[in-house]
Homo-oligomer: A and B are copies of this chain.
């Protein structure tokens, strides 16, 4: 833990902060800690309830709230390839995937712990860029960096982030409370992130193992390279490399009594909705025509001669929220959401009662061959 150094006015080594910031080469752990400390000075003011400690971070909780803990690891060569993703985007995304989990619980994020294991070759400006992206998103949501751990690594970069949030017990939306008759909704269009990954993998000659497997998996071939406008490309790449966690939307949806269950979309609608159905002991009927697809994805799919629904159902890493709500309340919910967030909610299906046998997901208006591929797994 470097908590003690983020929180107190001393240094592990006998260098003044001036000296360290002058050098700022980040060649040792102490350089990195000093840099972190300097860059997070303003974080204390965000959560007055937080008291940052020594061997651990100490957090005071508001009365009648519950703490929520989420943690995810990103591994070089498995989840990302540094030939493709920029260090700033990687920093952003490391926090974003965890904020998305917090959002799915309807919770307000308070602080994060950053554990980073770095091969020596990445010391220096790379780590500064990483932190730039990480702290940009921290600032956007006023999530204090509370501490964490820095270590070396023999080969690959490993990033493990834990986020702590809080929520009123009655506002927690689990996956297990969807009821037959509820509508199935999402907070945004799906599939853009995977399209961004495919574009990037074609842009570069070398594919990471993970990306290669994923591209193969969805049957994209090198000759499919799309000749899209740069605006569309940028939009799809951004969806993949700088996903926006739906934090405010999650808090708002958590407060709505008409919302019955919620989770985030990290592994694709098909896989994640199956999880929700398992958990709630229900089935789901999805209308392929109602699945929201962005204009950018439509253009991309046209160029690739692909069905955009394939990407929307199996692509993953969308980080939109998937939730269910009472059918009679949807119109009002949609209106109020539109007013508050200046964007749409989408209803794409209905929860059905469970059956003893048969698939959990039923599809309307969807070609059966789209359903053939299986979602990609990072393991």
Contacts and interface: CB of A to CB of B under 8 A. Distances in A.
Interface of A: 1, 3-4, 8, 10-12, 28-29, 51, 53-61, 63, 66-79, 100-102, 104-105, 107, 111, 113, 115, 117, 146-156, 158, 160, 162, 164-165, 167, 169, 172, 174-176, 209, 263-264, 271, 275, 278-279, 281, 377-379
Give the residue among A29, A51, A70, A78 with the most B Cβ atoms within 10 A.
Answer: A70
A146 B66 CA distance: 15
A51 to B, nearest CB: 7
Contacts of A51: 66
A379 B75 contact: no
Identical chains in the assembly:
2
A166 to B, nearest CB: 9
Question: Across chains A and B, which 3 residue pairs bring their CB atoms closest together, nearest first?
Answer: A10-B278, A160-B160, A29-B379
Given A4-B279, A113-B162, A209-B154, A102 B71 contact: no
B68 A117 contact: no
B275 A377 contact: no
11 contacts: A3-B70, A4-B275, A8-B278, A10-B278, A28-B379, A53-B172, A54-B175, A54-B279, A57-B69, A69-B113, A73-B151
B70 A55 contact: yes
Given A4-B175, A71-B149, 12 more contacts: A8-B175, A10-B275, A60-B67, A67-B164, A75-B117, A77-B153, A152-B379, A154-B155, A154-B156, A155-B156, A158-B158, A158-B160
Given A79-B151, A378-B151, A379-B151, A55 B1 contact: no
Contacts of A174: 53-54
A167 B51 CA distance: 13
B75 A154 contact: yes
Given A53-B174, A167-B58, A279-B4, A71 B115 contact: yes
